[in-house]
């Protein structure tokens, strides 16, 4: 795990859903469930390194507001003193994560990562800089072939925009953006120029559950990854698709996330696991632990907690599954990646 006390400087306000407790609770839970866990401290990247994914104007804009210490990047991203340094730190973790994978690590997890809404010239959805896109570009510059798999309930619109013209495969499984922020991430957004065909959006209907998530993986994600043949997986592991999450309308359970992790582990590829959404702080650490545990082949210690947490969960609705199958069929019949 990559962790720094600097993560805890996050301060969007006491009533904001994105709070530093999500990091401290996750670290503490992981330490009890994975006693042999290595915790490594990342270092902030230099601002100029961000020019690979963000404009100079935007980087300077964030820096100036950070020095000022108040204001807003946008309506849901309030500024706090040091927000610039905080964002450079979690992007530094993305870089360090890739370096660790290149040095022989199998799985690296950064809970303060996965901030996939930040675009080239703007923030979005609590995200200052986009560490997901940065990690992919950095990995490519190291001669690797990354694939981005984003399971957050909100579409990875910033990652899509930044990498829209790059031939890096980006797969985002999310709640239909007709109903949920960011209002972007539709099936027909295929990418452009060299990136044409390398952007796959899988918008699931509201209330979609484990069966729908499994269909998306078995019918779209697994075949696409096998065809693309990456050598690194960058996983945006937002867990706000969980059925109790206060900000979304999906219905995944912890068992659904467990199956996803099993499928990803079956590729036998190094994985950079980044955080992302998840706003029920009582379950986020457990959900990230079950994903991480399956990726490293050591999840037994989390299963009892998972059973207690999900004892009232409901299975997917058959009508919802039918709608999901229509989405999948539309992708398979229209997306250039599958028509080649």
Per-residue pLDDT of the chain (340 residues; tens, 9 = 90+): 999 999 999 999 999 999 999 999 999 999 999 999 999 999 999 999 999 999 999 999 999 999 999 999 999 999 999 999 999 999 999 999 999 999 999 999 999 999 999 999 999 999 999 999 999 999 999 999 999 999 999 999 999 999 999 999 999 999 999 999 999 999 999 999 999 999 999 999 999 999 999 999 999 999 999 999 999 999 999 999 999 999 999 999 999 999 999 999 999 999 999 999 999 999 999 999 999 999 999 999 999 999 999 887 766 688 999 999 999 999 999 999 999 7
User: Which is catalytic among the residues 116, 117, 154, 335?
Assistant: 117
Integer Cα distance of 116 and 47 in angstroms = 18
Element (H, E) at 110: strand 107-110
DSSP symbol at 252? B
Check if the beta carbon of residue 96 is closer than 8 Å to that of residue 279.
no
Q: What is the CATH classification number for the domain harbouring 266?
A: 3.40.800.20
Cα–Cα dist 302/289, whole Å: 7
Residue 36 parent element (H or E): none
Give this prediction's pTM: 0.97
Number of structural domains (the chain) is 1
Q: Are 7 and 23 in contact (CB under 8 A)?
A: yes
Q: How far apart are CA 313 and CA 246, in angstroms?
A: 15
Q: Helices 284-296 and 300-309, interaxial angle, to 10°?
A: 150
Residue 117 bears catalytic tag? yes
**Host domain of residue 155:** 5-339
CA separation for the pair 212, 99 (Å, rounded): 34
Q: Which two tokens stand for residue 57?
A: 């104007």
Parallel/antiparallel/unpaired status of strands 107-110 and 199-204 = unpaired
């Amino acid at each position: 795990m990559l962790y720094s006390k600097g993560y805890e400087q996050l301060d969007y306000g006491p009533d904001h859903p994105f709070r530093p407790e999500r990091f401290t609770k996750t670290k503490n839970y992981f330490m009890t469930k994975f006693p042999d866990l290595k915790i490594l401290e990342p270092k902030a990247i230099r601002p100029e390194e961000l020019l690979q994914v963000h404009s100079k104007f935007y980087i300077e804009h964030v820096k100036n507001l950070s020095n000022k210490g108040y204001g807003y990047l946008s309506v849901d991203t309030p500024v706090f003193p040091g927000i610039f340094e905080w964002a450079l730190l979690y992007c530094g973790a993305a870089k360090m994560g890739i370096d660790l994978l290149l040095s022989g690590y199998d799985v690296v997890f950064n809970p303060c990562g996965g901030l996939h809404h930040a675009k080239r010239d703007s923030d979005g959805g609590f995200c200052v800089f986009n560490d997901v896109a940065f990690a992919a570009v950095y990995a490519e510059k190291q001669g690797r072939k990354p694939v981005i798999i984003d399971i957050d309930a909100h579409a990875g619109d910033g990652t899509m925009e930044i990498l829209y013209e790059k031939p890096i495969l980006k797969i985002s499984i999310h709640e239909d953006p007709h109903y949920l922020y960011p209002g972007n991430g539709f099936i027909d957004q295929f990418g452009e120029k060299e990136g044409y065909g390398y952007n796959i959006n899988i918008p699931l209907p509201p209330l979609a559950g484990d069966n729908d998530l499994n269909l998306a993986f078995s019918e779209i994600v697994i075949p696409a990854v096998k065809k693309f043949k990456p050598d690194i997986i960058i996983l945006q592991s937002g867990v706000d698709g969980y059925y109790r999450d206060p900000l979304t309308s999906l219905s995944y359970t912890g068992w659904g996330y467990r199956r996803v992790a099993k499928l990803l582990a079956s590729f036998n590829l190094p994985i950079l696991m980044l955080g992302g959404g998840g706003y029920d702080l009582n379950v986020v650490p457990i959900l990230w632990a079950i994903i991480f545990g399956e990726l490293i082949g050591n999840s037994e210690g989390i299963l009892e907690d998972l059973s207690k947490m999900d004892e009232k969960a409901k299975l997917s609705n058959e009508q919802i599954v039918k709608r999901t199958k229509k989405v999948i069929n539309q992708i398979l019949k229209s997306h250039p990646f599958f028509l080649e």
